[in-house]
Amino acid sequence: MTDDGVHILQQLGHFLIDAIFRDEPIENIKEIVDGGAPLWYQNESEGASALHAAAYMQNAELVQFLIDQGAIWNSVDNLKNTAGEIALSFNNQEIYTIVRNAGIRAEMLLALLSSHAESNALPDTLVIRSEDSTAAASTDAFLASKLRFIKDENGQEICVVKAGDEEIGVMMGWEKEIMEETALQIDSWFQSLPNRPIVHYIVEPHADVLQYMKEQGWYKKTGVKVVENKWQDSIPELLTVGGFDVIYTDTFSEDYNALRAFFEHLPDLLAGPESRFSFFNGLGATNALFYDVYTHLAELHLADVGVNVEWKDVHVGEKKLERWGKTREYFSLPLYRLPIGSMGHQN
């Protein structure tokens, strides 16, 4: 496309956003869109798209129209807000739900396509993705990276890894309350069993973590078996156990597709309807809309494999400024949604 063509599209996009902010009739807005105004355009002053503007004007009919026409549900403005956050700021549940459901549909479609084709063959116009080859998003890079087990300036015991020019927390002290609540939810059921499980399998591929576990005495604990491998390569061995009463997974540098792939193995790994499953629910957790979308997505995909999920809200918003120290933030929301899953009873 020529520079003139790009300039024309920018003008049309700007005209569309202004028309929405002027609260022009929806028929006028539709004519502008039909005339070629790009829905992906975001103005320079605020980073607002047409969808942001419609959410700000609290026009649910227009929001639905723009979504139907291909507006990008997850675009963020200069303040890092999506149209969903704008709707929430007005306590407009109707518009928020429209945007969230658009996100769920888009991610469901992406997951479906991912299951049938290599990721590099997917159309790059479906959703916005950024490539990250650092330890934060590449399993191979993470496993080849050096980990540091330290105490931060707030006295938290943490594990960090270098990713590009910054350090990222692999395990942070503030997650302890999440782990405690997960254990409480599962162990209250655990303790009611007449025969408590006596074998604890830990699957861990990173050499530094394995060394740390040896130093902390994990290899000598009664009933603990450490599998020194990635979970993907450990499935055949785990299947020989005969079914687990409880499974918990918390990987680093893996995306939702990898988590969903793990879901697919649950019917074979769980011992039966009385077994429990949970995972660290942290995908998209720097944005309320993204977190909501991935939480719903996980529930839908778990239902596909026969796992029913109940959610418990854990408040993690206190001492937010002390939570991260000098590491990159990966969870900035006040509530953590803790999943507890169980296999559905067969009729």
Same fold, 3-121 and 171-343: no
Pick the CATH number of 171-343 from 3.40.50.150, 3.90.1150.10, 3.40.50.300, 2.30.33.40: 3.40.50.150
Q: Provide the greatest CA pair distance for the chain.
A: 75
Block residue for tokens 């699957």: 203
Higher pLDDT among residues 140 and 302, named by residue: 302
DSSP SS3 for 100: helix
The model carries a pTM of: 0.77
Mean pLDDT, rounded, for 45-61 = 98
CATH code of 3-121, in short, is 1.25.40.20
Show Cβ contacts of residue 168 under 8 Å, excluding neighbours closer than 6 positions: 135, 136, 160, 161, 162, 327, 328, 330
DSSP SS3 for 19: helix
CA of residue 218 relative to chain centroid, distance: 30
Cα dihedral angle (66, 69, 72, 73), rounded to 10 degrees? Answer: 60
Show Cβ contacts of residue 204 under 8 Å, excluding neighbours closer than 6 positions: 210, 213, 226, 227, 228
Mean pLDDT, rounded, for 272-295 = 91
DSSP category for residue 327:
S
Residue 104: band (very low, low, confident or very high) from pLDDT cuts 50, 70, 90: very high
Mean pLDDT, rounded, for 306-312 = 95
In this prediction, residue 218 carries a pLDDT of: 87
* Residue 153, φ and ψ in degrees, nearest 5: -65, -15
* pLDDT surpasses 50 at 128: no
Domain ranges in the chain are: 3-121, 171-343
Q: Could you report the per-residue pLDDT of 57-98, keeping only the tens digit for each?
A: 999 999 999 999 999 999 999 999 999 999 999 999 999 999
Q: Could you report the per-residue pLDDT of 234-274, keeping only the tens digit for each?
A: 999 999 988 998 999 987 768 888 899 999 999 999 999 98
